[in-house]
Amino acid sequence: MLLTGICLVLVSCNQKDTQSQSTSETTTATAKSITYKDISIDELQSAFGKEDYILIDVRTPEEIANGMIEGAKHIDYVSTDFKDQINLLDKNQNYVVYCRSGGRSTKTSQLMQKLGFKNVANLEGGYLAFTDSQ
């Protein structure tokens, strides 16, 4: 009787470990599929006129007042409808996202990938890197 109880506990623990491992592998695979690419200022500048992409500036209106990359679409990261505005974009277009230095644009790129956008790039260094290159 005692031996039967020990065997049941061992089998039960083994099944939980297998289920846990399977769940962990699925989560890792899912996380790996949610990717975006980082691009440098040089890569962005060499792509001007060669690739069809839309620039998205996710800085605040106060930051925009100091300038922005010509042709960029402004979607304020801290606005209450930010996610809704992002979700209205064509998920099949190519996008390059930037902010002041790269933090908010990284989060935006991750969000866009989770929402099903096909081709999203984050501008490394953001607007500061862009203005330094001019």
Residue 43: strand, helix, or coil: helix
Contact of 85 with 79, CB cutoff 8 Å: yes
Which sequence positions are flagged as catalytic?
99
Single-letter amino acid code for the residue at 33: S
Single-letter amino acid code for the residue at 18: T
H/E segment holding residue 65 = none
Rounded distance between C-alpha atoms, residue 65 and residue 88, angstroms: 25
> If 0-12 CB within 10 Å is exposed, 13-18 middle and 19+ buried, where does residue 64 land?
middle
